[in-house]
Structure 1
């Protein structure tokens, strides 16, 4: 088990980042890879989970151990795979997910891609009462969006990348189109667009 990797973020894709550790590039799948766009060509530590299947071995990466802990808990729920667990964590606010589970808030949970009423109920049945320590320990990540100066030019590819990332998480065009007008009215990085879109979709 690889507990963490410390290296330079050399590339960011829709579903993953490449972390260069002593001239070895590790492909690490993340809930929102663009959270690392401010760290491109910089050294960071990514906490990892190694998922082994018959046809693939993948590394999943997280900003901190709390996110990884919740990811591991979600994988224990019937009907939740790595992709579904990443989609739930993509907001960068895992504490909200835990609070929804503890409050048996199915309405909140079904807003995530691939989570229907049956799966939401299963999440609550399997995890309620098992995440109390998480709430007590987690200080929550600073989710402040990266500011962009007025004189900076934002190209369309920033928004396009964000839309592709949302699709990779499992959101469909119908859901994305609901929040698209508000996204077009803002100037953000790719990470900023993703965070705004997820927040709007969870609030709707």
Structure 2
């Protein structure tokens, strides 16, 4: 079985200020840099090496990857964060409280120039499947974004299952996933906050 290590970027200025960031970008904070370095040191200590590395085209993701590993990598638009349209760079409290039970929620951001849940799910699934289907891709590191990662998991896990197994997806966490015969399975979450100093 192939392994995908799917990582969320480090803490950013917008994360700290509680501003919505999807298509817009903001730099890593000093804490975000430390988180990425800590996760990189942990992965190295575990003896994990990666055949290939990928990141979204957004600076916060590529900066995180460069702090985790010095190996070459490829930037892919399909790994970018959910586009929230006119909600970008606005306070997070303006976001509706999604239940993921009301079908109308799926297209909430579309009238504001953003993406639907289905669009995010489909592009993440397509991009990550293409990556993992490539030859000599037995263990791969990918840096992406929190909500895009949640939507990716929703392709093969229920929200109840995600709430039980994943719970929280903090900055610089890593989801260890299996990939076999075109299908992904969730194996483990590595939370940087729980790693030894």
TM over 0.5: no
Q: Which has the larger radius of gyration?
A: 1
More helix by share: 1
TM tier, shorter chain?
under 0.3
Higher relative contact order (CA closer than 8 Å, sequence separation 6+): 2
